[in-house]
Amino acid sequence: MILRLIPALRAAIAEQWISYFDAGAGPAIIEFYTGIIPTNLGDTLTTQVKLGTLTCSDPAATQTAGVIAFGTITQDSGADAGGTAAWAYIKDGSGAIVNAVDVSNAAGDGLIKLNTTTVVAGGPILINSLEFTVAGA
């Protein structure tokens, strides 16, 4: 399947997406979990364990030609629990879910890449950078 969008449409979609991250009074956050991403975002979590929360800058991101680049993301210096990070919710400034993404180590193909997916309770969780591209770019 091939999807190509004109640059103006990619940029408009990216700007709209960023507006969702920036909604609410506070900064967007990224919460890391073990297990499987829920089929329907917002469903009650069952076996998934929340590992920790990182805080985005406010505004969270900028876009260029449909590429969304997050600004500074503050690490969680004391993870809530230990486990293997498999996915993350990105939530707006009011805590509402915007989207969920997969997580991998630096060599993997997850949208969020961590230096290691093994999180130790009380230890740090850190993202060096985060960007993704609107489809068709």
Beta strands 50-56; 87-91: pairing state = unpaired
pLDDT tens sequence across 8-24:
999 999 999 999 999 99
Longest CA pairwise span in the chain (Å)? 46
pLDDT tens sequence across 73-99:
999 999 999 999 999 999 999 999 999
DSSP summary character for residue 86: -
Query: What pLDDT does 136 receive?
Result: 67
Note the pTM of the prediction, 2 decimals: 0.93
Rounded to a whole number of angstroms, the distance between the first and last alpha carbons of the chain is 14
Q: At 53, list the tokens.
A: 């929360």
Q: State yes or no: pLDDT of 137 exceeds 70.
A: no
CA pair distance 28, 30, nearest whole angstrom: 7
Amino acid at residue number 62:
T
Q: What is the rounded average pLDDT of the residues 31-56?
A: 95
CA pair distance 105, 117, nearest whole angstrom: 6
